[in-house]
Amino acid sequence: MYIVSFLLISFKLLLFFYEFSYASDTISSSNFISDNGKTLVSKDERFELGFFSPGNSKNRYVGIWYKNIPVRTVVWVANRINPINDSSGMLMINSTGSPVVVMRQNITVVWSANSTKEAKSSVVLQLLNSGNLVLRDEQSSGDGLGSYLWQSFDYPCDTLLPEMKLGWDLKTGLERRLSSWKSPDDPSPGDFTCGVELQGNPEIVMRKGSNKFYRSRPWNGIGFGGPNPVFEMNFVNNEDELYYTFNMIDKSVFSMIVLNKTSNLREQLIWSETTQNWNVFSYVPRDHCDSYVLCGAYGNCITTQLPICQCLEGFKPKSAGYSDWSQGTKDRPKMKIVVIVITTTATVAGVLVLIVGYYIYKCRTNLEAIRCIHISLLCLEHQPNDRPSMSSVVLMLGSDNTLPVPKQPGFLMDRIPQLEPDSSNKPEFSSSNKVTISLLEAR
């Protein structure tokens, strides 16, 4: 009787430790996670790892999600390209020390994490409080990113968690880039991506396939825009790394950045205990004007205008009509202005004509240009007393008041016929004023 009781107690203890081992945050090469409801849980019980089926799919995947949130929110998927079609999957560490996902029937490897670093001892796979799944030496403390043999944070899916890096390891050429799910039922990589692109002034760029459709503002030392009251942003750019990361100011708040395939938005989500749901804190693109090169080169996007694409001063659309702005804008035809300055009182007349000439160049419509030319003719009246003053010219340029009609063209000269005694009565013409003609071309 005592022997039977002892065996029964021993069996229950073994069963307890068996269950307990799979409720921990770590597995070693001597155990594994199978698709029977067993999971890894981070020490602070924020994240959980196990097998799951997304949406209405029956396929099985190994993923990481928030443990204590009623709405299952998957933040990382291991075998997102190769699902398992039954419940025979296992997550284990193989003989070479790499974590793998295999199908139990024929031991087919559907996913593996290859590490380029050599382990000094036996290895363990651990789910950290940050949501990072890491492979490390069993004897190491694993308290630094450099001590990991492999980590899931280097291979993000559609979600950026606090402390994750979005960008490049310039030493190894590793790019950490977000890619959306194809659908709520299929976590395989979609065509909606987000990453840091290597260029003179690095920016975060979002693409649909190969087409760039959004880019962030340049980094200003605080963020890619203004300061944020919820999280801190960091941008590292040195000879070894180029990446963006963020950290929550209040560590108790759950937040993440997600690529929303349905809306094609990059959303910053924050969990609300009140509504028991994810609330959108911010998103990009915010409106049509956030779309990349929507108005083309030298175009100006104004959401309150129709059309929303406008030309900068001195430019006009390259394409006909207002429906296609992809080609951008071009310079308006340059106008050649003939400036005739009569040497008498030339200083005032010359200055006035130069001012009017500048306004002609800045004109947006033909009517404005004609008005400026009209004013320039007034400035070149033959008689100095007929020319408007500087203040009058400024008033004319800034109003729509009716302009006086010029008495005569500024280039017309008085002609006085003179007859020479020996001539054959051929008229000769002379002028009482000296005339200088200059040709100015607007730049």
pLDDT (tens digit per residue) in 296-319: 777 778 777 778 787 777 677 776
Burial 142-170 (b: 16+ CB within 10 A, else e): beeeeebbbbbbbbbbbbbbbbbbbbbee
337-368: b or e for each residue (b if 16 or more CB lie within 10 Å)? bebbbbeeeeeebbebbebbbebbbebeeeee
Contact 338, 346 (CB under 8 A): no
SS3 21: helix
Note the pTM of the prediction, 2 decimals: 0.67
Mean pLDDT across the chain, nearest whole number? 77
Give rounded-to-5 percent helix, strand, coil for the chain: 15, 35, 50
Parts of the chain with a pLDDT under 70: 1-23, 104-106, 141-146, 220-228, 314, 319-366, 408-443
Give residue 231's pLDDT. 80
> Kind and range of the H or E element at 125?
strand 123-127
Amino acid sitting at position 126: Q
Furthest C-alpha separation in the chain: 160
Domain ranges of the chain: 23-153, 156-290, 299-331, 336-441
Helix locations, 363-437, DSSP H: 366-379, 390-397
CB count within 10 Å of CB 373 equals: 16
Q: Is 131 helix (H, G, I), strand (E, B) or coil?
A: coil
- Alpha-carbon distance of 393 to 377, in angstroms, equals 11
150 vs 286: CA distance, rounded Å: 36
- Fold designation for 23-153: Agglutinin, subunit A (2.90.10)
30 with 50: CB under 8 angstroms?
no
What does the buried/exposed string (b/e) look like for 409-425 if buried means 16 or more CB atoms within 10 Å of the residue's CB?
A: ebeeeeeeeeeeeeeee
pLDDT for 104:
66
pLDDT of residue 26: 93
Alpha helices in 389-429 (DSSP H): 390-397
**Cα dist from 99 to 26, 83, 96, whole Å:** 12, 16, 9
Residue 422 is predicted with a pLDDT of: 52
